[in-house]
């Protein structure tokens, strides 16, 4: 079946390059971004800027190889949009999980015990219900994946204006600054690495379900509504 994309991964050299790029990008992102939360008094703005600018930097490095997803929710959104097939999406997500775990281990290893705290684990505000955390993660990831898809959209008349990686990174920063006191993952593997290393699993399932469904919704809406709109604009 075409949806599985066997033909897409038959170029093994290219596929391996892309999968390695996703592993490397996720590893680099987790190994550094987690350090932003290892202060005695973590600064919300600093953490949000670190996450956003690191994502922009990593996308700039590997984007030409794999697209620079470094996030299962982005991969699923790109799959829902129709830019990649199922088998490659699965390989990307496996690479992202492995990169997350290794990156978190490195962040743990280089952090002094007096500063480590929870190693930047994503833990929701204690009085929030799971459905509230889910709603925030869904909406924020919807925004992120929509921005990613807009950067990938070759039919947009404004394509090429500004920096695509920076636009993606700033969307993460904006969402995290707005909602960090409540929650602020937007990326299942951003939450997975420190959860495994520090054994912190508070409402962890929400950090998979919310972003993944938000990413899938963004992909479908962009594919069937927003992309058509830009296509009609190009044709007029």
Stretch 18-37: mean pLDDT, rounded? 95
Residue 125 CA to residue 140 CA, distance in Å, equals: 16
Residue 160 confidence (pLDDT) above 50: yes
Q: What is the CATH number of the domain that holds 149?
A: 1.20.1080.10
pLDDT recorded at residue 6: 75
pLDDT recorded at residue 233: 47
In a domain, 141, yes or no: yes
In a domain, 1, yes or no: no
Stretch 164-188: mean pLDDT, rounded? 94
Residue 126: CB atoms within 10 A of its CB come to 6
**Whole-model pTM?**
0.92
Residue 99 confidence (pLDDT) above 60: yes
pLDDT recorded at residue 40: 62
Number of domains in the chain: 1
Residue 234 confidence (pLDDT) above 50: no
In a domain, 2, yes or no: no
In a domain, 220, yes or no: yes
Residue 27 confidence (pLDDT) above 70: yes
Residue 216 CA to residue 127 CA, distance in Å, equals: 28
Q: Which pLDDT tens digit goes with each residue over 52-72?
A: 999 999 999 999 999 999 999
Domain that includes residue 167, residue range = 7-235
């Amino acid at each position: 079946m075409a949806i599985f994309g066997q033909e897409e991964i038959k170029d093994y050299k290219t596929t391996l390059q892309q999968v390695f790029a996703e592993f490397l990008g996720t590893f680099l992102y987790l190994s550094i971004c987690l350090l932003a939360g290892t202060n005695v008094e973590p600064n919300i703005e600093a953490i949000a800027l670190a996450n956003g600018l690191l994502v922009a930097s990593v996308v700039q490095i590997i984007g030409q190889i794999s697209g620079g997803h470094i996030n299962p929710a982005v991969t699923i959104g790109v799959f829902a949009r129709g830019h990649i097939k199922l088998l490659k999406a699965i390989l990307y997500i496996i690479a992202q999980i492995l990169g997350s775990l290794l990156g978190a281990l490195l962040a743990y290893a280089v952090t002094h015990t007096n500063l480590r705290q929870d190693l930047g684990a994503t833990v929701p505000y204690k009085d929030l219900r799971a459905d509230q955390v889910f709603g925030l993660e869904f909406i924020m990831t919807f925004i992120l994946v929509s921005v990613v898809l807009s950067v990938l959209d070759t039919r947009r008349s404004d394509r090429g204006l500004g920096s695509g990686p920076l636009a993606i990174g700033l969307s993460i920063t904006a969402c995290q600054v707005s909602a960090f006191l409540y929650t602020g993952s937007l990326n299942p593997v951003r939450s997975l690495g420190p959860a495994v290393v520090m054994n912190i699993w508070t409402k962890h399932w929400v950090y998979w379900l919310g972003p993944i469904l938000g990413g899938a919704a963004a992909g479908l809406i962009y594919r069937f509504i927003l992309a058509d709109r830009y296509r009609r604009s190009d044709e007029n």
